[in-house]
Structure 1
């Protein structure tokens, strides 16, 4: 499945959100982030891209720890899988250690309390949390993060990126974009991309069949 390679490739729902994300994707401005919004809006993708955007010229100075909150949801998971690594990396400047926790709302209240303590004790470690449900993230965690809301981009916002994607796949589409794809605009970015890829494959097959049919007629003209 297609996935943006840079933050500039991400289709945000508005310019203000994109500007906010780009602002914090710099070493001097980087702080703990909490990306929240409905499923399929690119929160995990943006979290990963923010981390790799911080030190692109010197990737050896960046280390990532990726945690799934649904699988590491207990206080023991925080103490065993997150806290020890954070405390070790605090002692390694100018090494930057970033912890990405997806589905953070799945962590128990006790686990979130323990995570808050790690965030306070390990100021040099940065956290990026993603969640579908902001209300399930404890207030003390929220207060320690810059919150960024992410919604699905609408049809108008998707128009140009979709045509650019099609062109990059060898399809220069001038007609109206298919409703089977654009119906997901404003609802689910991930589903829109999946439908677009399926539709593009069908178009490529149709174009290939047309080329096969036309080739014999062209050869006959050359023969004459």
Structure 2
């Protein structure tokens, strides 16, 4: 709906650590515009009072930066971890009400219950669940192939499943894949990390074989 211009409500992406909320938030403006979009990024932790909010959204120079579309369908404001203080949240409600017609707000948080209830009411709250091992399989195989490593799907699934049982974080899973690649390239019995390749046998001449 956002990509097809059917929804302008602020979007709050929430879920556990490392599930890809920030990645989605960063990609969405480009997907809406069909090109590289200009985005304004805010840090919610910098807003602790009504004055803090007013200074950013109340007038020049930020005013003109936020209200210039630059041939875009809309303006974009992204903020991670929008756990505003109560006073800042109240002021931010008015900002959203004033700007919702032309500005797409995209927020992320690990703790949706801590987000101001009125901001939640003004927004679409979308849970970003952790991916499964099967979701990751094709991408993980591609990563290993780029490193010249071949591993059967069932073995790779075991590695992915084990890691996701420890942590649902995509970042941690990528780190685990990096560790696996290093272990293959530099195993304990090959501390130098030198990979020996068996010589390729000469093709058999069918006439000689006969």
CA distance in 1, matches of 2:195, 2:70: 60
Given candidates 184, 188, 192, the residue that maps to 1:203 is: 184
Q: TM-score, normalised by structure 1?
A: 0.71
User: Relative to structure 1, is the Cα distance of residues 54 and 182 closer, same or farther in structure 2, using a 3 angstrom cutoff?
Assistant: same
Larger Rg: 2
Q: Which runs of 5+ in 2 are unaligned?
A: 203-210
Is the helix fraction higher in 1 or 2?
Answer: 1
- Mean Cα displacement is larger for which, 81-90 or 30-39? 81-90
Alpha-carbon contact 1:34-1:146 (below 8 Å) kept:
yes
User: Aligned pair in 2 of structure 1 residues 102, 51: CA closer, same or farther (>3 Å)?
Assistant: same
RMSD (CA atoms): 2.9
Residues 13-162 of structure 1 mapped to structure 2, 5 A cutoff: 23-57=1-35, 59=36, 62-84=37-59, 85=62, 89-90=66-67, 92=69, 94-95=71-72, 96-105=74-83, 107-123=84-100, 124-162=102-140
Aligned residues, how many? Answer: 190
SS for the counterpart of 2:129 is coil
Offset at 1:182? 3.5
In structure 1, C-alpha distance between the alignment counterparts of 2:143 and 2:122, rounded to whole Å: 37
Measured after TM superposition, the shift of residue 167 of structure 1 is 2.1
Q: What TM-score does the superposition give when structure 2 sets the normalisation length?
A: 0.75
Describe the SS at the equivalent of 2:17: coil
Tell me: CA distance 1:93–1:39, structure 2 relative to 1, closer, same or farther (3 Å): same
Quote how far apart the aligned CAs of 1:129 are: 0.7
CA distance in 2, matches of 1:153, 1:134: 19
Deviation at 1:66, TM superposition (A): 1.1
- Kept after mapping to 2: 8 A contact 1:102/1:130: yes
User: 1:14 maps to what in 2?
Assistant: none
- The whole-number CA distance in structure 1 between the counterparts of 2:176 and 2:34 is 32
SS of alignment partner, residue 183 of structure 1: helix
SS in 1 for 2:119: helix
